[in-house]
Structure 1
Amino acid sequence: MTNLQNLIEKRAKAWEGAKAFVESKKDKDGLLKEEDVQTYNEMEAKIAQFSSEIERVSRMEQMEKELSKPMNTPLTGKPMAEKMQSEKEQKNAMHKDAMLKALRSNFRQVDNVLQEKVDADGGYLVPEEYDNRLIQSLEGENIMRQLGHTITTSGDHKINIAATTPAAAWIDEGGQLTFGEATFKQALLDAHKLHVAIKVTEELLYDSAFNLENYILEQFGKALANAEEDAFLNGDGTGKPTGVFHQTNGGTYLTEVATLKADDIINLIHALKRPYRKGAVFILNDKTIAAIRKLKDNNGAYMWQPSYQVGEPDRLLGYPVYTSQFAPENKIAFGDFSYYNIGDRGTRSFKQLTELFAGNGMIGFVAKERVDGKLILKEAVQILPIKA
């Protein structure tokens, strides 16, 4: 083993040791003590020293190689003979150079020539023709994160809710006072585990055509956001949050209408108590919006009010409208969604699994989070079911 390879291995071991030290010293809040921070800083400084030494030794070896070349190389073959190499010999030379480069960089610099996989695995890159753009489909944002109330917790979070309110009463002069008891109930925000995981080839990850690691992080965030929004709207509370549209633990359900009419929208708005209407919005599916846009009032004017200002939502009878692909096609929710509480247990974690699929030349990525969501006041959201 050369001195350079030995240094690279030592640096890798030092880094693994530093990561293991941090994981073992974290307290329940994921923080390190001051003395542990100092110890980690010393470990990180040593890793930086290894990196500097590796660069220096690498430069020395390269210089040694250059200086060992003869000043004049005698002509031992026919001119242009190099161009007559077979395709197989050229390919072998490319593989050899690429492998040496990968070994010297601890497989952080891997050329495309080392990869021979199928397109479906994301591993087939043609260096001369590969487009450095990454075409992807657009994803919607999590509207419930915008409208709901988010709480970061370190354990089960209990929310106290007033079940009764005091009432005033008239009494005669000198009459006896009457006392009532205030009662309370609690909503408990738990923590349900949500994760997304993929595996990619090492060669694709280290390729320079585009920054794949940042793309993976971005797509993981979108995948988690979509799964969250679906659960915040439709979840049944078993292994996932309880959704706004849940029949018993979601919003207050009104009487089902056979066919949606303009009067039904007006009745829905006024079924919500006036204090909640101050911050109320609609949440519905795009297909439901298509039906509503055709509705007219008694004067023949369309009820729908499209927004002409960038960033502003469309309005229905003066209230903002938010659409979600996960909202049921046969239900309309209207209310103040700040009463939907989202409990984040800690923060999202992102991990790279380098050993699990090492034998297959793959690297795994896993993102996890623990979250719960509940509508803590049923009366704050009214839901109109539609039969057709």
Structure 2
Amino acid sequence: MTILELREKRNTAWNAAKAFLDSHRTENGTLTAEDDAAYSKMEQHIADLGKEISRLERQEAMEAELSKPVNTPLTSKPATGKQKEEKSGRASDAYKSGMLTALRTNFRKVSDVLQEGVDADGGYLVPEEYDHRLIKTLKDGNIMRHLGHIITTSGEHKINIAATEPAAAWIEEGGALQFSDASFAQILLDAHKLHVAIKVTEELLYDNAFNLENYIIEEFGKALSNAEEDAFLNGTGVGQPLGLFAATGGGQVAGTLTAALKADDLFDLVYALKRPYRKNAAFIMNDRTIALVRKFKDSNGAYIWQPSYQAGEPDKILGYNVYTSEYAPEDAIAFGDYSYYNIGDRGTRSFKQLTELFAGNGMIGFVAKERVDGKLILPEAVQILKLRSE
């Protein structure tokens, strides 16, 4: 008897057992001793059929395994290493290929696979592989993305801050408890739109030998990175992130110099920062300020500047890492724990093509855009030393 026949027989037996049970219950809803014995035999018969079906299924699987050839002949080129994982959505090869084809044909050939990336104003989401590489470009060229805390948001992001802390007080035996009020504040991370536009000649788009992908990633990445770093350091918070050096909402001002910067001023800046923040603190200053600081010596005549001895590691001042940025103001130095600078990143970047604007010049415009915000959520975590204006 085959497995299919046994399954049909078990199904028939099960239906018969249910019908027997429904028709032989007494007024109390139970079975007589004779009917209970008969129903038990039906259940046992169904269980025996199930065991036989399982036995035949295991036998069939074993025969299929043993019938496989010991050596399978090669019918294609042998693969080396891990097999390539099949990707879907914006990460798929089809989406990436569709985007390149659309770019090279001035978006006259837009495959259906790109439709999942259409946004409200006619753009197309960057393929996921491009997006990851573009983010890497932004991190490599943007010190604040390296030092700050990045949060990927889908909407307005609220961060709760303890505005006041409870204070402890001594009381005598049996004295009344003293209660202090604790208040909390909220900082909102929104999303400001940042974009970069470039023009590309039609010849470059139609020339398959030109590495269009890397060109777009590098050019867009550099422009977005520069604009972001400038805003994360100097932004006003109006239509752009609120910068680290902002007069209101930025780091706390540790002091304002009326004379030229000296080594002792850097010591004062370090200890103006509360001890818990000094553990992960670092300096941020302009390149021109660095040229002056590198000449400073301590009371023993040793330079306070400590050059890095390992590639990729930052230089140090007074034992703390120092980062330079051309966008850092020339009249200020920051010292603090920049993990308290929160960057709200919507994550997804998109392309948009401008077909008609430059058509007369034989060129095509492309726009990349992103939405991002940034705020220092704890001003006391960063101290700012204002230098004398020259």
The TM-score normalised by the length of structure 2 is: 0.64
AA in 2 matched with 1:273: K
1:206 aligns with 2:192: no
Partner of 1:164: 164
Paired residue for 1:18, among 112, 117, 120? 112
Displacement of 1:190 after TM fit?
A: 1.5
Partner of 1:220: 220
Displacement of 1:361 after TM fit?
A: 3.0
1:329 aligns with 2:330: yes
Give the SS at the match of 1:372: strand
Change beyond 3 A, Cα 1:292–1:12: closer
- Is the Cα–Cα contact under 8 Å of residues 255 and 384 in structure 2 kept in the other structure? no
Partner of 2:180: 180
Partner of 1:303: 304
1:359 & 1:19 partners in 2: Cα distance? Answer: 30
Give the SS at the match of 2:173: coil
For the pair shown, which has the larger CA radius of gyration, 1 or 2? 2
AA in 1 matched with 2:299: N
Tell me which moved more, 299-308 or 346-355: 346-355
Displacement of 1:259 after TM fit?
A: 0.9
Partner of 1:237: 237
Unaligned runs of 5+ in 2: 1-104, 126-138
- Is the Cα–Cα contact under 8 Å of residues 307 and 313 in structure 1 kept in the other structure? yes
Change beyond 3 A, Cα 1:355–1:18: farther
Displacement of 1:21 after TM fit?
A: 4.5
1:369 aligns with 2:353: no
CA displacement, residues 192-214 of structure 1 (integer Å, 9 cap, x when unaligned)? 11100112111122224531342
Give the SS at the match of 1:255: strand
Change beyond 3 A, Cα 1:17–1:216: closer
2:146 & 2:298 partners in 1: Cα distance? Answer: 31
CA displacement, residues 240-286 of structure 1 (integer Å, 9 cap, x when unaligned)? 11110111211011221121111100000000000000100000011
The TM-score normalised by the length of structure 1 is: 0.64
Give the SS at the match of 2:256: coil
AA in 1 matched with 2:112: A
1:333 & 1:12 partners in 2: Cα distance? Answer: 46
1:271 aligns with 2:272: yes
C-alpha RMSD of the superposition: 2.6
How many pairs does the alignment contain? 268
1:198 & 1:368 partners in 2: Cα distance? Answer: 12
Aligned residues with identical type, % of pairs? 71
1:263 & 1:192 partners in 2: Cα distance? Answer: 40
Change beyond 3 A, Cα 1:200–1:12: closer
Change beyond 3 A, Cα 1:21–1:219: closer
Change beyond 3 A, Cα 1:276–1:319: same
